Structure 1
């Protein structure tokens, strides 16, 4: 009993005395210049160094002190969870996992796995990583901060760097759907506006975070504070080059500033429920504190990338057992697969590359001649996939390149030579939009993520081949009405046979259905239950979601010399639900 009372008294003392440096006054002060773990009991501990410290409870870490200011305040703090907030990890029994002269690795244990904080004597922030022991099959796994809304007033993603909406704005607006509100002036607030494409491509890292006046100071020139996530290695994150995720938002119930770290997410996908092997490791990534200077974060990011894979880190799955994989992809004419998106993932998988997520994944782009290289690939056997990504040589290719049994061997550079990408081999009659799994080039498409932009697209549209331009085609079709493509078949093609209409969708959200017609005769339909559905469009996506592609045969004689039409007629609609276009191609078989 006496020892328990001592622990409680110690905890109260630690929380009540905060010196100007921002480091707690300890009953027994930790050695200066050294990271520390002060274990209060099995469920509570304090970690930190001379510059910051954090109280970690069984689910939530609070009282994040820096320069005498609590950066969490009345907010929830730091936690780790899966399947939304339904399952918060109970992280207890803190201990020092490893300690050297350079760093201290502190681990907190949960039934599902171990969460680590790696501190150095001078680092503002910490490296973090998670090792799986018993996570269930899941789609969403995340770490996050919910921070004081007076200190962190701005958000920075890949697409936005702006003031977060104040809670008062949300409370005075009308809720119209999931975490989305409409102001009196008609504009919208949604937590998905700060979503962005994830920085998952090799050598194209990025960072995201929140920043503002330290302690909520209103004084001109007040000191600033920033909290950032930097991922120099991204092979533990699910999905391909078009992976998007929620990163930052204002918590609508409390006003907390939310900084998300979706290390396995599904916000913009059809499904990505995965079964993870024991020992799978997410991270290490860097949670970084600074004075809010974005230039400083950019510099730090470059340093982290230069040092990755980290020499100091080890795991049981061969973190340092890495090699490189290279090759060249050409089309059937021998042209290089210019700027193809090349993906190294699950071997012999039937999942889309966007939905793969159980293991480790690598993404890069081929150069203008089709050459590609994956660096620092964990030893193993992979499936190689490639899809068009906007270059002219692949803009009309509706096939996906695929090759399995690609090996990566530690300390070796394996070159798989020249590989040929079989294309559909058909003659194009016309095409609207490049095949690149994006709505790029169409009206109203493009960053940043923004709610309700689909409302700008008309119910009825006429597009004339040879006269209309790509910008005349809108990125989303959702309203009751018909979009008609008018085109001429020259007499020299009078003896051509059957044709195929390919409709490539960069995204689809259920609730909209339609029929497809060639010269007034129905040749197919687009509808829920058939199309892979994601929440991307009503979650502010403006370029992509879950890609799908559909081919509709047109029998010989149905297209004739002279004027012809293809029509897509929406028969059932739902606001902010729709399909998002990638490309439409009509070809002779």
Structure 2
């Protein structure tokens, strides 16, 4: 039975007794090297370091045997010289070395060293790909060490990851989360004759899929993207035989953009990705740019490729349940003790920070409020909120408990700022801009930290929830011709394709008007402000209105409008007060954002917060109207997702403060 097999294997691992398991063996051939621990056998090309074969549970190769060997299991990247078009490269080593070889562990290195003869031909990095197999382990690990030496050419690194392409005749069921798992289309279903390309390039409508049950559905890899904080385990299940192939990432420290950054996971192929760095849902803001010959070194990973199996007659979905248990074991084991590179720091080489975070907003409470559920992290020094655009170094995050207590463990030595943001409050906390120096073995107690969110006066009205997402707003049903059945009646209903077009159907002649005290943002505030489609299929900008009543406007004072955006894509927000035709808006963001969250079903990208001062002379006693104009309309995907909007009165409206 599957449970008996898996539980017995885990019991042995828990007890630390691997002597009953076969020793790890290494077989070095002319063009290949094979790691074998009696459970899994992994074949890599030599010296390239491409995973060409994974033998497990009687299956000679879990990877797609119809693919050429370099297109099965590989590290890749996208890079460019400044101002040039991106270049996709599969990373192939030129030097093979055995780092560790004993009965309990094998670690292999496949290096590619850069020299001036490679300028313009290969990314100016030394790259050391490592693969590890442990005794008794039902899988293997991989990590990479990237290094740019001082004085080397400038370049941009748009993306880097590990890709595995599995056998399409076996792996047809994908699992990303408990509520995101399903039978998937075949790769042929995305070819001409079996699909219809849709408006956004990665999306297709399945018109003649091999599995007729999928006919009429949309397939788009971005429907399965995931926030870093939730992107711990995903992969595929084969029903014949019952085998699971899982990619487990136990730490976010080497990923860019912080805990909310979204990345791809698994998608039609069947393909499984370990994403380390990408501009998805962020654009150029999360593309590291190396200039002036700056030195840089970073360790990506290790990640764990975990394999499990069951018997015919067992529920194959138990493999997913087991993969989640294994993921928790890997998380608890981080940082691993077994990687041999001195660049991967072990637990005793790291430091920890603890403290207690409170929020002080005197318009809500005269006392400090525990920052329940706050995201608290250490990231390279910068302004408040700079962590979400940081993409070169390491970040370390945790969640505060209901009392605001937090502990950030296993932090690599270095200089950091303490950052935080608190669901329910706008803005970002940065501990006074203080630089915190973490050293090996250090334990720093910060005591009480107090975040004072932006606030000038009492709340007159608000729209939405300040949580950096647009999920609370009205997300329409999809076009019945463009559905993914997985997301029908699903909490993530925003992942359906083509929702941007529904705005034009709901508001064919006039734009959204929201009346404070009457409208309900859950029903009346469309989740994204996008252009309206005209009858000739061109687009026009949109102007949304917020109507509200004021009495006793205090002249000579200033009212404050807080506008938090959950995402922006080649858009501009212009705000006018009581005059939609004013030649100059009171406020404009200018053109911002390249996040593509609207087209890629993301419900958020980067967080943008604006503070708009409204002179009382622009307001009247009675009905006032704010006009939010998004004029950019070259494509249907331009626009904003709002997080939260609040109007504050002048401070003098509250005598106690």
CA distance in 1, matches of 2:393, 2:320: 32
1:294 — aligned with what?
320
2:550 — aligned with what?
489
Of the candidates 257, 262, 265, which is equivalent to residue 247 of structure 1? Answer: 265
CA distance in 1, matches of 2:340, 2:188: 46
Of the candidates 431, 452, 455, which is equivalent to residue 501 of structure 2? Answer: 455
Contact persistence 1:115–1:131 (CA under 8 A): yes
Q: Structure 2 vs 1, CA of residues 498 and 430 (structure 1 numbering), >3 Å: closer, same or farther?
A: same
Q: Structure 2 vs 1, CA of residues 68 and 440 (structure 1 numbering), >3 Å: closer, same or farther?
A: closer
CA distance in 2, matches of 1:546, 1:278: 25
Q: Structure 2 vs 1, CA of residues 495 and 399 (structure 1 numbering), >3 Å: closer, same or farther?
A: farther
2:44 — aligned with what?
56
1:7 — aligned with what?
none
Contact persistence 1:277–1:358 (CA under 8 A): no
Of the candidates 515, 528, 542, which is equivalent to residue 574 of structure 2? Answer: 515
2:356 — aligned with what?
328
Of the candidates 342, 346, 352, which is equivalent to residue 319 of structure 1? Answer: 346
| Count of residues in Structure 1 that have an aligned counterpart in Structure 2 | 531
Deviation at 1:351, TM superposition (A): 7.3
Of the candidates 199, 204, 207, which is equivalent to residue 229 of structure 2? Answer: 199
Deviation at 1:314, TM superposition (A): 4.6
SS of 1:108's equivalent?
strand
Q: Structure 2 vs 1, CA of residues 385 and 187 (structure 1 numbering), >3 Å: closer, same or farther?
A: same
Q: Structure 2 vs 1, CA of residues 224 and 199 (structure 1 numbering), >3 Å: closer, same or farther?
A: farther
SS of 2:434's equivalent?
strand
Deviation at 1:524, TM superposition (A): 4.3
Q: Structure 2 vs 1, CA of residues 277 and 301 (structure 1 numbering), >3 Å: closer, same or farther?
A: farther
Tell me the alpha carbon deviations over residues 236-263 of structure 1, each in whole angstroms, 9 at most, x when there is no partner.
111212111011122xxxxx31101101
1:175 — aligned with what?
197
1:44 — aligned with what?
32
Q: Structure 2 vs 1, CA of residues 210 and 109 (structure 1 numbering), >3 Å: closer, same or farther?
A: same
Contact persistence 1:498–1:556 (CA under 8 A): yes
For residues 430-579 of structure 1, what are the structure 2 equivalents within 5 Å?
430-444=461-475, 447=492, 449-457=495-503, 458-459=506-507, 460-471=511-522, 472-480=524-532, 481-491=542-552, 493-495=553-555, 497-510=557-570, 512-513=571-572, 515-521=574-580, 522=582, 523-524=585-586, 530-541=591-602, 543-573=603-633, 574-579=635-640
Deviation at 1:513, TM superposition (A): 4.4
Tell me the alpha carbon deviations over residues 539-568 of structure 1, each in whole angstroms, 9 at most, x when there is no partner.
221x21011122333222211211111122
SS of 1:140's equivalent?
strand
For residues 338-417 of structure 1, what are the structure 2 equivalents within 5 Å?
338-348=372-382, 352-389=386-423, 391=424, 394=425, 397-398=426-427, 400-402=429-431, 403-417=433-447
Q: Structure 2 vs 1, CA of residues 164 and 496 (structure 1 numbering), >3 Å: closer, same or farther?
A: farther
Which shows bigger deviation, 451-460 or 469-478? 451-460
Contact persistence 2:377–2:408 (CA under 8 A): no
RMSD: 2.7
SS of 1:294's equivalent?
helix
2:220 — aligned with what?
190
Contact persistence 1:115–1:128 (CA under 8 A): yes
Q: Structure 2 vs 1, CA of residues 350 and 388 (structure 1 numbering), >3 Å: closer, same or farther?
A: closer
Contact persistence 2:252–2:259 (CA under 8 A): no
Which shows bigger deviation, 304-313 or 110-119? 304-313
SS of 1:520's equivalent?
coil
Q: Structure 2 vs 1, CA of residues 48 and 137 (structure 1 numbering), >3 Å: closer, same or farther?
A: farther
Deviation at 1:495, TM superposition (A): 4.2
Contact persistence 1:494–1:561 (CA under 8 A): no
Contact persistence 1:39–1:94 (CA under 8 A): no
Of the candidates 46, 55, 59, which is equivalent to residue 68 of structure 1? Answer: 59
Deviation at 1:489, TM superposition (A): 0.5
Q: Structure 2 vs 1, CA of residues 334 and 439 (structure 1 numbering), >3 Å: closer, same or farther?
A: same
CA distance in 2, matches of 1:496, 1:423: 25
Q: Structure 2 vs 1, CA of residues 569 and 379 (structure 1 numbering), >3 Å: closer, same or farther?
A: closer
Deviation at 1:467, TM superposition (A): 1.8
Tell me the alpha carbon deviations over residues 313-371 of structure 1, each in whole angstroms, 9 at most, x when there is no partner.
35424433122101222233422233222121002368731221222211112233332
SS of 2:23's equivalent?
coil
Q: Structure 2 vs 1, CA of residues 535 and 409 (structure 1 numbering), >3 Å: closer, same or farther?
A: same
Deviation at 1:149, TM superposition (A): 1.1
2:245 — aligned with what?
227
Runs of 4+, deviation exceeding 6 Å:
none
Contact persistence 1:385–1:400 (CA under 8 A): yes
Which shows bigger deviation, 142-151 or 380-389? 380-389
2:137 — aligned with what?
123
Contact persistence 1:348–1:404 (CA under 8 A): no
SS of 2:369's equivalent?
coil
Q: Structure 2 vs 1, CA of residues 335 and 249 (structure 1 numbering), >3 Å: closer, same or farther?
A: same
SS of 1:451's equivalent?
coil
Unaligned runs of 5+ in 2: 1-20, 80-86, 114-125, 150-154, 208-214, 310-315, 361-366, 477-490, 533-541, 651-657
Deviation at 1:170, TM superposition (A): 2.1
Contact persistence 1:268–1:534 (CA under 8 A): yes
Contact persistence 1:44–1:92 (CA under 8 A): no
Deviation at 1:425, TM superposition (A): 2.8
Q: Structure 2 vs 1, CA of residues 437 and 290 (structure 1 numbering), >3 Å: closer, same or farther?
A: same
Q: Structure 2 vs 1, CA of residues 68 and 367 (structure 1 numbering), >3 Å: closer, same or farther?
A: closer
CA distance in 2, matches of 1:496, 1:465: 24
Contact persistence 1:249–1:258 (CA under 8 A): yes
Matched, 1:145 2:140: no
CA distance in 2, matches of 1:259, 1:290: 16
Contact persistence 2:596–2:637 (CA under 8 A): no
CA distance in 2, matches of 1:278, 1:102: 33
SS of 1:557's equivalent?
helix
Deviation at 1:581, TM superposition (A): 0.9
CA distance in 2, matches of 1:39, 1:342: 47
Q: Structure 2 vs 1, CA of residues 123 and 556 (structure 1 numbering), >3 Å: closer, same or farther?
A: same
SS of 2:157's equivalent?
coil
Using structure 2 for the length normalisation, give the TM-score.
0.75
CA distance in 2, matches of 1:300, 1:531: 42
